[in-house]
Structure 1
């Protein structure tokens, strides 16, 4: 992929890795079109007692490492003899035969005939028809697709309730959501997305430099607008499969927060709480945390998610759902992996001259934040033997890992988060919690305990995880399944299981959005090639470093 084509960026972006090829045709932005798309999946006929669901065609670009070209020519269509009584009769049959697809159809029907209040733009900064098209696509489709907040909680979707009002007041936020919409639409809209990404970046940097350690900004509203723009652009770049520049935006967010009082200085209302929880979420799901630690301590992130001050009481976080206690554990595992790797590498690579050899007390772990996410290994006496030192280090790591395992066994969803959910929403949220709990247990076994994917206990856990994924993959929870699906793929060892995992990836690519999922699928395929039978432990972080990729599993 050495041709830039319609996705060419300005000079600011020239050192960034090019994204994959994109959709050949754009998708419709409207809720009505979403409803018709769902409806067209069913080939209604008075002579048939079921619906025919057409498969989405996929072709592999030989110039790409795994980027699909998805056909947008849906073959299923309504029968000419369609009528209302027949439709009702078929709906009743479908409720028994194809409940997941009926759920999707009902959701689209509700979005069509009970739409959320439209957020009209209070200013039009050089927006043409394409710009308004992208805005409406974000409003009606994308902002709902990326949220796992329940529909029964109207105020929970912060992609609408926070970002859209900010877009009325700040050009950077507006340009950011237009860029994100363009990247998600794909096809001819990629060029529009790139144009608005460049405009958002210029607006963001016109009065501040992120080259140093950051700078203090007196106007709190300016900080909020810039942080929102940064987070939106982070999501937009992840959406298009970027493996470098999204992490630059995240680092800018850290610099902005750190130089203006720290992340907890921006936790005074729902708007601010959404922004800092969004930052924490993307930091914890970054593959680079295994190399750098998290930007702020995991305990701080946990406080943000648990929200002890009740700032966002009554609203589920649209990124976390009821799984919010588990994200801190993901960060703890990544931090322990980072710390243990530092400790062992420094010890085993120490100079051979005993007189000049560092003691364990000399070892320290560097984190982006001075008092960051990892702590230095507690030193032992320098006059004990090497064997004892190694034993102490290994026992330290093992003890920390078993503490995390115990935490995973006792963690539960917050009961307050479950009170207002419908039966279906409750099932989806609890199943998602279980999927993340199992994913964390498997991640711990792979990263710290160094268990082979084919190990019996790993296969038992992975079988349970896959059952959760198969329940969730046809629900509105798709936006949160990238990390659990990656972990499930990492521990899949049979050819039959790998083929089933490929179908799950294809489902996410077709329904949720392709490019970041394509990157994750590509990594899983590389792991399978290197470890075909699951009988060894693959350091996938080292593999990403070799590829010069920084993945985000958001």
Structure 2
């Protein structure tokens, strides 16, 4: 046995003497130098699948198991990489791939055999024919839809589960999106009024509501009602004009005066009003209160709020109104708006809430009407509406305590 020097790994590798004798120059002197070079460079067969230690040192490994020559000489632990169980077949995609047309046909065959169990599956269809595959061109992935539909047997097509003979569902109205406000025809407003109405959408409805647009009841109640009621449309135009022109200008007072005049003509008194009238009056009162508060008023809005509370009492209270409108989301919002203004009013700190807190608690705290259905997030109070109820109880109790001591 003798040793040769590996130029690439700078290591000495043991070589069998028999191999060395075979590599001794037995030919002419002209071939002696070539044989010596082959002996140095190609002494042993190596590959890239050496042990982990040799791979980490970037040295070639002679792959002797269980311990390679380098690790045996260095007296270190020799560990090997676990052989992968996955193999990549050459040209596997071309040989094993099937066209989408044949896959569809094979799938239909499987479904039909599982459901009927009449005939054995056609093995040629399931596996695909190699001869047919080689005859396919490179453009077989692009298949005409008409060709696919025509090649499918009618027995493979399943009928829909819905009976389309009943077309009554087409008669149901589909609500229009609330974003298309300026494109809907308003028969009551002129160009100036539409401009103010757009100001209401941008400065009031979208900025005041803290929730998602799906729960923006400022648009779902006030705005939608303005499309069919003249006084409400004038009031919303005046509300938006306050933000555009900065207060009660001549144009704003024009639309506000038109709203007051139309309401006074339509409702000279609150006797014998219908369910629809109650809904219109609640919307109009709360719109009027909102525009007065946004304009900085401190007295006019409270007079209208007195009328709102009087309307609620005439209808039997909050619970009766909820039952009247079947606890709809719109009526929830209107009553929530009343509770919001009643508790946060400055007069509440002196006289207490205009409606007793027991009535508010029975509706919002005990019945929890805002948590029923898909009401969502309240536009003004959000998810902290119970805190406003606690604030109302504290304020009312403080007023009762002061009045009892005096």
TM-score by length of 1: 0.38
Please say if residues 233 and 249 of structure 1, whose CA atoms lie closer than 8 Å, have aligned partners that are also in contact. yes
> Relative to structure 2, which stretch is displaced further, 291-300 or 306-315?
306-315
1:167 aligns with 2:226: yes
Report the alpha carbon displacement of residue 121 of structure 1 after superposing the two structures with TM: 4.3
- Alpha-carbon separation, structure 2, partners of 1:187 and 1:297: 36
Match of 1:162, SS? helix
1:533 corresponding residue in structure 2: none
1:333 aligns with 2:394: yes
CA 1:264–1:194: 2 relative to 1, 3 Å? farther
Please say if residues 349 and 396 of structure 2, whose CA atoms lie closer than 8 Å, have aligned partners that are also in contact. yes
> For each residue in 1:481-516, what CA deviation from the matched residue of structure 2 results, as whole angstroms up to 9, or x when unmatched?
xxxxxxxxxxxxxxxxxxxxxxxxxxxxxxxxxxxx
Report the alpha carbon displacement of residue 247 of structure 1 after superposing the two structures with TM: 0.1
Report the alpha carbon displacement of residue 312 of structure 1 after superposing the two structures with TM: 4.9
1:257 aligns with 2:312: yes
- Alpha-carbon separation, structure 1, partners of 2:247 and 2:394: 41
Please say if residues 302 and 325 of structure 1, whose CA atoms lie closer than 8 Å, have aligned partners that are also in contact. no
Residue 251 of structure 2, aligned match among 192, 216, 232: 192
Between 1 and 2, higher relative CO (CA 8 Å, sep ≥ 6) is seen in 1
Please say if residues 172 and 226 of structure 1, whose CA atoms lie closer than 8 Å, have aligned partners that are also in contact. no
| Alignment map for 1:59-458 (pairs within 5 Å) | 117-119=179-181, 120-125=183-188, 127-149=189-211, 151=212, 154-187=213-246, 190-209=249-268, 215-267=270-322, 268-306=327-365, 308-309=368-369, 310-345=371-406
> For each residue in 1:409-454, what CA deviation from the matched residue of structure 2 results, as whole angstroms up to 9, or x when unmatched?
xxxxxxxxxxxxxxxxxxxxxxxxxxxxxxxxxxxxxxxxxxxxxx
CA 1:118–1:208: 2 relative to 1, 3 Å? same
Report the alpha carbon displacement of residue 322 of structure 1 after superposing the two structures with TM: 0.9
- Alpha-carbon separation, structure 2, partners of 1:312 and 1:256: 26
CA 1:199–1:180: 2 relative to 1, 3 Å? same
Report the alpha carbon displacement of residue 255 of structure 1 after superposing the two structures with TM: 1.0
- Alpha-carbon separation, structure 1, partners of 2:235 and 2:333: 17
Please say if residues 377 and 383 of structure 2, whose CA atoms lie closer than 8 Å, have aligned partners that are also in contact. yes
Match of 2:383, SS? helix
> For each residue in 1:288-328, what CA deviation from the matched residue of structure 2 results, as whole angstroms up to 9, or x when unmatched?
01232212121322344445354453511001101100111
CA 1:311–1:171: 2 relative to 1, 3 Å? farther
- Alpha-carbon separation, structure 1, partners of 2:363 and 2:237: 28
Which structure's CA Rg is the greater one? 2
CA 1:219–1:291: 2 relative to 1, 3 Å? same
Report the alpha carbon displacement of residue 138 of structure 1 after superposing the two structures with TM: 1.5
Report the alpha carbon displacement of residue 122 of structure 1 after superposing the two structures with TM: 4.4
TM-score by length of 2: 0.51
CA 1:312–1:299: 2 relative to 1, 3 Å? farther
- Alpha-carbon separation, structure 1, partners of 2:368 and 2:239: 32
1:378 corresponding residue in structure 2: none
CA 1:176–1:302: 2 relative to 1, 3 Å? farther
Please say if residues 203 and 240 of structure 2, whose CA atoms lie closer than 8 Å, have aligned partners that are also in contact. no
> For each residue in 1:453-475, what CA deviation from the matched residue of structure 2 results, as whole angstroms up to 9, or x when unmatched?
xxxxxxxxxxxxxxxxxxxxxxx
Please say if residues 178 and 219 of structure 2, whose CA atoms lie closer than 8 Å, have aligned partners that are also in contact. no
- Alpha-carbon separation, structure 1, partners of 2:385 and 2:232: 26
Number of aligned positions between the proteins: 223
Please say if residues 172 and 203 of structure 1, whose CA atoms lie closer than 8 Å, have aligned partners that are also in contact. yes
